[in-house]
Amino acid sequence: MNAPVIRHEQRQHQTLTPRLQQAVRLLQLSSLDFAQEVNQAMGNNPFLEPDEAEPGTPTVDGDHTPTPVDDTPAAPASAEGSAEAPADNSWEGESWSQYGATRRNNGSDSDFDFSDVTPAAQSLRDHLLAQSKWLTSSARDRTLMATIIDGLDEDGFLRMTLEELKGLSGLTPTPDDDEMAIALKLVQSLEPAGVGARDLRECLLLQLRDDNDPEKVSIHRLAQEIVVEHLDRLAMRDLTGLARSLGLPEHTVSQAAECIRRLQPRPGWRFGAANTRFVTPDVVVRKVRGEWTVVLNPAVVPKVRLNRMYADLFQSHRDARHSDLAAQLQEARWTVRNVEQRFATILRVAQAIVQRQRHFLDYGELAMKPLGLREIADELGLHESTVSRVTNNKYMATQLGVFELKYFFSRALATTSGGTCSATAIRGAIKDMIQEESPQEPLSDAHIARLLARQGLQVARRTVTKYRQMMRVPAYEMRRRKA
């Protein structure tokens, strides 16, 4: 039997120093997360303080001189990325209050104007519970109604079964099926019409039955029949085949279809605050003297610096007992330098992107060139992973909208002429074709592929389908409309 052997080996491996670890972490953060990180650092480190200098003014704290920035206004935009930058930063000014009101000098003791108070958006749950209190029903029924209302999703649909809701009511004895059915009917009688439905078909039927216009009784009955029996065919916009199946004139079926289209498939959508996400672009692109220029957005420029008074005081009284303060001072210097490095890297990458994609800024999506992370990395002398971190969750404001930096990267597709074209340009060409198609004769994916081939772009039909789905464009059968 072999005895165990102890062996020594020498190996080389790379490790990140604490400063580099912090630099990498700050670089990959979004603007919001970065601001939170810096604010937390200032709260925990006495040697850091906010930089109160005006945007665009260089500040010197003894250890560094931040790069001057252009006084460009901040431009919050939707995370989907297509809104234009506003003209000012008024949402950050003194006119803003937590109540959504303005402060005015109106001669009163208080400068708060109650006429401008904006009420909080009412939730669907509160809206329904307020109505249920006025129904002439028992306390037990109201409890069951509240249980069902709590089970509704944000669209107003009941995705849970009545059996699941029984145990959540907390009532003794446990409600039976008839009680739950009655409570559901009461909820479905509330406004907005269609609330409490368990699927789309039931939602539409509730709204049709709620409309008692005597002049439209026959159309509503036909609409109900279509919803119950032919909803799938209606979704395909096949009115000719639908009229043939029903044995009715096509114009009559068209009236019923139009009645259905006016219904609300998500009755709860208008209640509660809109869940809209906003981003602040890290860089702003503008055309100056015929050239595209990139500047840092002052809303995200470093607003932290070394507290020179505390640093000098510590240096003059430094001894071995203050090792923890020495570590905090060193960490503060790292933070300031890493913050500067973050913005310098973002600016360099953004400038390189704009230089490569200036035709996109001039002419739009069709002029987007193929671009890879490695090209930018090689040009700037950075690692490809660094460019990847910079382009994630960083945004650029342009005259065409606000885009994430990674939007400007796309793979190259070969053309019949021997050149290359970006996937973004092809998506733009597909979008233009669909926008210009005839509503009566929409283009199929195969037809679009043939049209692209005539332009020298060899794109498979399944690739067209993938790009169309990425743009959330329905299939051509769903886009067909009768004249």
For residues 185-214, give the mean pLDDT: 87
pLDDT surpasses 60 at 433: yes
Higher pLDDT, 152 or 12: 152
Distance CA 383, CA 377 (A): 6
Determine the pLDDT at residue 285: 94
* 269-310 pLDDT tens trace: 888 655 556 778 999 999 998 899 999 998 877 678 888 788
Share of the chain above pLDDT 90, in %: 18
* 452-461 pLDDT tens trace: 888 888 888 8
Contacts 24+ apart (CB under 8 A), 38-42: 38/302, 38/303, 38/304, 38/335, 38/339, 41/304, 41/335, 42/304
Q: 10 Å Cβ neighbour count for 169?
A: 20
pLDDT-wise least confident of 157-161, 182-186, 235-239: 235-239
Determine the pLDDT at residue 277: 60
**Domain layout of the chain by residue ranges:** 17-91+276-409, 124-188, 200-261, 412-479
Give the residue from 301, 309, 305, 303 showing the smallest Cα distance to 333: 305
Peptide bond into 267 cis (omega under 30): no
pLDDT surpasses 90 at 110: no
Higher pLDDT, 352 or 16: 352
pLDDT-wise least confident of 24-38, 216-230, 353-367, 425-439: 24-38
Q: In this structure, what token pair is assigned to residue 122? A: 């009412």
**Helix axes of 177-188 and 139-150: crossing angle, nearest 10 degrees:** 70
In DSSP notation, 445-465 reads HHHHHHHHHHTTB---HHHHH
* 42-88 pLDDT tens trace: 888 888 888 765 444 433 333 333 333 333 333 333 333 333 333 33
Determine the pLDDT at residue 321: 62
For residues 165-178, give the mean pLDDT: 86
pLDDT surpasses 80 at 118: no
CA geometry: angle at 35 spanning 118 and 47, to 5°? 125
Q: Domain 412-479 carries which CATH code?
A: 1.10.10.60
Assign 41 a pLDDT band (cuts: 50, 70, 90).
confident
* 387-408 pLDDT tens trace: 988 888 899 999 888 999 998 9
For residues 251-273, give the mean pLDDT: 85
pLDDT surpasses 60 at 196: yes
